[in-house]
Every structure is written in structure tokens, then in C-alpha cells.
Amino acid sequence: MDVISVIRTKRDRGELSPEQIDWVIDAYTRGVVADEQMSALAMAILLNGMNRAEIKRWTAAMIASGERMNFDSLSRPTADKHSTGGVGDKITLPLAPLVAACGAAVPQLSGRGLGHTGGTLDKLESIPGWRALLSNEEMLHVLDTTGAVICAAGDGLAPADKKLYALRDVTGTVEAIPLIASSIMSKKIAEGTGSLVLDVKVGTGAFMKNIEDARELASTMVALGTDSGVKTIALLTDMSTPLGLTAGNALEIRESVEVLAGGGPSDVVELTLALAREMLDAAGIKDADPAKALADGSAMDVWRRMISAQGGDPDAALPVAREQHVVTAPSSGVLTRLDAYGVGVGAWRLGAGRARKEDPVQAGAGIELPAKPGDTVTAGQPLMTLHTDTPEKFEYALASLEGTYDIAPAGTAFSATPIVLDRIA
């Protein structure tokens, strides 16, 4: 085998053989295939696609590159959730402790930001002392004692994906459906969870811009999970507008804590509860009420134990950016559109994301959104507050926010898009 032949096969719209797939994944993991060569192959896959047999084999090769975990020692059934990524998508943060408070064990392996979308680990690392990297033994201990753990996949779990995930982020190949499906499902299958709920985002702020592509991705992942013995369900959810009122790392932590305290934006609460009910049902837990667990503080109790168990201080002050810039409404009326992609790129340019895989992120960077579509606004009212430690980034971020919102005359009728668009099982 040689990598040039593998690249040419996919470049010329051919089907990769099982032997080619096994070899290139193993060789890339071992460093025999260079980043620039895998970048070329990833771009060829983005442009020319893969069939189901190729995706299944690619996923199996990713799993085979490392170890597999097992949670049979736990007394609770396991349920996990994965989002394909969005803007303001902080759902994992309140969801994991909520589902744990209702009786399931939630082994949540999460990732860094990809492109314009935020990363759960980047958000949690804004909590002083919190650790994303746990050994398998530490992960199992936190899961057993608190009911939930959110951490990075260990070096031994699908190491091929860890390398490829970072590479896709900086080579314009994030949106490739075969690579998204195999990346997500290789980690989730290797992780060993008994059931999995997928939140497949649709809209301008998602990697899947239309519902047909989202259904294709969801169906591919549900099939991969089911074939591997993991009960897998997918919800297609709207990502044309940012979730909640914040996009950024520490900003989203604050908003998540508000949800756990029984408040928070209605769209974040609605989606958190919808996913919680799916996870509990998939885990076979029928008599728990996640809405009650939010209201009575039990989910918050799990959150505090979970953060403390990973070295974080749940009472510590969160980082605040040194500089702010306010974007105001140019006219009065009804806010009818707030584009998720523009807001996501703006937050990324302010420092909430990374341009290179080795770049740091700013914990306090991001955008606050005082108004959401459907709200009445007045001229001069704040529409967005930009946060960063580096004020020279404001101009670059503001350029991405041009044309991201529409204000219609007062009295204009507004109809909101449902958050949950479809369900695939």
C-alpha cells in the first residue's frame, strides 16, 4: 500500500477497498502518512463522498486504532448524547447532570471547538481547576460516584480520530458527512455506552445546512450504532438561530448554570428536556421526570459534584473578557432573523475558537445576545455585546456580523421554527 494510490482512488471517485481503508487509518495513526497527505484524502472524501460500506469500514478502522471501554461494572444503565455542533450549543452542560439525577449514568466524551462551533471542553476549561483529561480509571470513578462525567477521549480511545478531528478543523473538511459520522460513532462505540441520542443540527449555524443532508448524516450514524449493538436515536434540531443568549466559553457556562438553577432561556430548557427524555427512554428508565429534577435542584447537585470531582471549583468566579463592544439596533421593530453562522464566526474571531489546532482559546471571549427573533426592539437597544481580551479583534468580528439580522416594522407577525424538526430511530 502507498498513500498516493489511496488518495488517487478517492480523488478519481473510486471506492476505497477495505484493505486500503485499514492501511491508511493505521498508517496515519502511526505517523507513516503525513498530515498533508491525510488532508488531501479528507478533501477528496468531502468532494466525492463514501458509500455505506466504506463508511462502516472506516469507522471500524478508527475503533480498531485503539482500545474499547466497558461500563458493565456500573449499577446504572448508560446513556450518552452527542451534538454535531452549533452556535451557543451548551446543551451537554446541563443535560449530563440532569440525566444522571434521573438515574442513568452519562459517560460524556466531548471535544474541542470545530470551525465556528464551540467545544464543550473549551467551555468547561473556563472553570478554574477543571480537568478535561482523565485516565480510564478516573473517568470510571467519577461516573460511579457522581453519575456523570464530561471529559476528553483518552489517548487510547480511537486515536486515529483524535488526529483527524484536529486536522479537519483547520483544513476546511469539517462538513464531510462520512468523516463526521465516522468520527462521532467511532468514539461512541469504542466508549462502550449502552444507548446514544444524537442531536443533529440543521441550518446556517450547523455543518448540515439543509434537512436532507442532516437526515443522511443521522441515518448513517443510527445505522452505524445499531449495527454495533448500541441503541441509537437521532433528533434533527434547528440551528438557524443561536441557542440561548450567549456564544462563547465562560459565557455559556454561566447560562448553563442558570438552566440548572431552574431558569435560563426557554429554547435551551426545551431542548435539554427533549434530549433528556430520549436518553432516559433509551436507557430503559421510564418513571423519571427531568423537568422535576431541574426544578428541585437535584440536577444542580450532580453538576456541582461532577465539576468538583474533576478538580473544578463550582463556586469560583468565571473569567471575564477585558474589552467589550456593543452592537445596537439601527431601528425599532421586530427582530425576525439572527443568523447563527454569522454569530458563530464572530465569536470565533473574538477568540472563542481557534484558527490552528495548537491555538489557545480565550475563556471570556464571545457574544451576548440580549434579543432573539420574535422580540420587539427599539432603536439604540443593544442587539449584541462582543467580548474579547484583544480589542484589535473587534473590527474582524464585526465584519462577520454584517447582515446577520433583520428588523421588521412593529406589528409584523413572526412564526418561530420548531426546535425539534424530526426524529430518526
For residue 422, what pLDDT band results from cuts at 50, 70 and 90?
very high
DSSP codes, 30-52: HTSS-HHHHHHHHHHHHHH---H
Q: Is the pLDDT of residue 169 over 80?
A: no
Per-residue pLDDT reduced to its tens digit, 206-242: 989 999 999 999 999 999 999 899 999 999 999 999 9
- Residue 170 vs residues 34, 42, 66, 198, 360: alpha-carbon distances, Å: 15, 12, 24, 24, 14
329 lies in which domain range? 323-408
Domain co-membership, 183 together with 277: yes
Pairing relationship of beta strands 333-338 and 405-408 according to DSSP bridges: antiparallel
Domain co-membership, 97 together with 232: yes
Per-residue pLDDT reduced to its tens digit, 38-49: 999 999 999 999
Q: Is the pLDDT of residue 147 over 90?
A: yes
Domain co-membership, 266 together with 331: no
Phi, psi of 78 (to 5 degrees): -100, 140
Per-residue pLDDT reduced to its tens digit, 324-383: 999 999 999 999 999 999 999 999 999 998 877 677 899 999 999 999 999 999 999 999
Domain co-membership, 106 together with 30: no
Mean pLDDT over each residue of the chain, to the nearest integer:
95
Q: What per-residue confidence (pLDDT) applies to 357?
A: 65
Return the active site residues: 82, 161, 168, 183, 187
- 422 within a domain of the structure (yes/no): no
What's the whole-number mean pLDDT along residues 28-41? Answer: 96
- 400 within a domain of the structure (yes/no): yes
- 419 within a domain of the structure (yes/no): no
The total number of structural domains in the chain stands at 3
Domain co-membership, 285 together with 372: no
CA separation for the pair 365, 113 (Å, rounded): 13
- The cell for 24 is 491508511
CATH number for the domain harbouring residue 121: 3.40.1030.10
